[in-house]
Amino acid sequence: MIRQMYPCLWFDGNAKEAADYYCSIFPGSKIASENPMVVNFELHGFKLMGLNGGPQYKFSPATSFVIECETQEEIDFYWEKLGDGGVYNQCGWLDDRFGLSWQIIPAVLGQLMSDPQKAPRVVQAFMQMTKFDIETLVNA
């Protein structure tokens, strides 16, 4: 029987720096344990492992973390904090300063996309955005 399952993130020698950075952004987060090779940490109750694996592998948008936000203020907060020193992309995606991809999305997006009349307008609206704007999506 599986005891636990969690992702391991491969860093180029800066896993502790990344874990500290992420823990400073997400309330209730913490470093659980660390050694020179591995740091185990929790973000918003979600367990992760950071591995100081070296330069062989890089992150890509093929794997990303999705943050569903209830308010525009939450979107703005995570967009600014995680994007600081990184790269902002289209449709709520960004790569943070460590190269890890994040999707900062409004929680209402699924509901808006489930309306067959509204969905095409919502898609058209968000395809023009980098950071999501809830009001614009709701009014699309």
Q: What residue ranges do the domains of the chain occupy? A: 1-56, 59-140
pLDDT at 65: 97
Task: Name, in order, each residue with C-beta under 8 angstroms of 106's C-beta and a sequence gap of 6 or more.
Answer: 68, 69, 70, 72, 75, 132, 134, 137
Whether 90 and 126 have beta carbons less than 8 Å apart is answered as no
Q: Within 10 Å of residue 92's Cβ, how many Cβ atoms?
A: 24
25-53 exposure pattern, b = at least 16 Cβ within 10 A, e = fewer = bbeebeeeeeeeeebbbbbeeeebbbebb
Answer yes or no: CATH 3.40.309.10 is held by domain 59-140: no
Q: Which fold has domain 1-56?
A: 2,3-Dihydroxybiphenyl 1,2-Dioxygenase; domain 1 (3.10.180)
- Give me 30's structure tokens: 């913490």
H helices within 1-138, ranges in order? Answer: 15-25, 72-83, 109-113, 119-126, 134-138
| Residue 94 identity | L
The 10s digit of each residue's pLDDT in 102-139 is: 999 999 999 999 999 999 999 999 999 999 999 999 99
Q: What is the pLDDT of residue 105?
A: 98
**pLDDT one digit per residue (tens) for the chain, 140 residues:** 999 999 999 999 999 999 999 999 999 999 999 999 999 999 999 999 999 999 999 999 999 999 999 999 999 999 999 999 999 999 999 999 999 999 999 999 999 999 999 999 999 999 999 999 999 999 99
Query: Residue 82: what pLDDT?
Result: 98
- Are 110 and 81 in contact by the 8 Å Cβ rule? The answer is no
